[in-house]
Structure 1
Amino acid sequence: MATMNRDQIIKKPFNDFKNYPYGFARSGDFSIRESDLIAKHGSLIAALMSGELEPESAEEQSLLSVARGEKAAESPIEKAWSKYQARINRPKVGSMYGRSRYTDDAFEISGGGDDDDLVVED
């Protein structure tokens, strides 16, 4: 597979179809400005985090350290990326009611007896 150079990665819009299949702007989790920043700079931050690119400026080094959780977010893109990371890494809720109401025993089919369990009363 061909490797992408720095300019191609920076120009590529960032998408997360697994967590945000309809886009960041339509999710309701981010403001319009935050969704634009994530889409514009997300590919760069993801490449920095994966080690595909090395940071070349102080701003990129700051983005990388915020993404790793080494320092607090200060700029708008750092705050938006921190919010994105918090949203995708939040714990999943299984059920707000706890365990399942029915067990497998409740759905067992009685085996071939001649008894008719249907009772009709007038």
Structure 2
Amino acid sequence: MAKFTRDMLLKRPFVDRKHYPYGFARSGDFSISESKALTQYGSLIAALVDGELGPDNDVDQGYLESALGHRTPQSVEEKAWLKYQSRINRPKAASIYGSKKAAVDDDDDDIRDDDDIEIEIDSP
């Protein structure tokens, strides 16, 4: 038996607190219609893609096929989902100044003269 039903997923708003902590509408990445579509249909599409729910009708099958890249997105929900996926999977911008201090390797700077060291031990 499925863990969720289609109706349960449509009633649950989709949120991504990791990538969009202030919501889709406030991010500037999505239009108003796209943010509404993601909020309303995102949980359903995510469950379809993850395999937690099987497609019940042609609309669900269309969501799944467009999300997997088998066909071009046709509805606002499908376009918004693909835009969301491209935004969260984009490469991270790097700073020209770097994000961490450079690791200093002290072993290369040391001069080693281990071969020239003589140790004399007095025996009793």
TM-score, length-scaled by structure 2: 0.74
The answer as to 2:66 corresponding to 1:28 is: no
1:89 and 2:89 matched = yes
CA offset at residue 64 of structure 1?
A: 0.3
SS of 2:16's partner is coil
Distance in 2 separating the partners of 1:21 and 1:5: 26
> Alpha-carbon deviation of 1:99?
5.0
Runs of at least 5 residues in structure 2 that lack an aligned partner in the other structure: 105-124
Instruction: Confirm or deny that 1:67 pairs with 2:77.
Output: no
Distance in 2, matches of 1:100 and 1:25, equals 29
Question: Alignment partner of 1:13: what SS?
Answer: coil
Instruction: Report how far residue 103 of structure 1 moved.
Output: 4.1
- Would you identify which runs of 4 or more consecutive aligned residues in structure 1 move more than 6 Å? none
Q: How many residues are matched?
A: 102
Equivalent position of 1:120 in the other structure: none
DSSP-derived class of the 2:10 partner: helix
Counterpart Cα distance in 2 of 1:100 and 1:37: 36
Amino acid at match of 2:53: L
1:100 positional shift:
6.9
Distance 1:37 1:98, change over 3 A: same
The aligned residue for residue 55 of structure 2 is 55
Output the CA distance in 1 between the equivalents of 2:71 and 2:6. 25
Match of 2:122 in 1: none
Distance 1:20 1:100 in 2: 22
Whole-angstrom CA distance in 2 between matches of 1:102 and 1:59: 51
Return 5+ residue gaps in structure 1 as ranges: 106-122
* Greater radius of gyration (CA): 2
Residue type at the aligned position of 2:70 = E
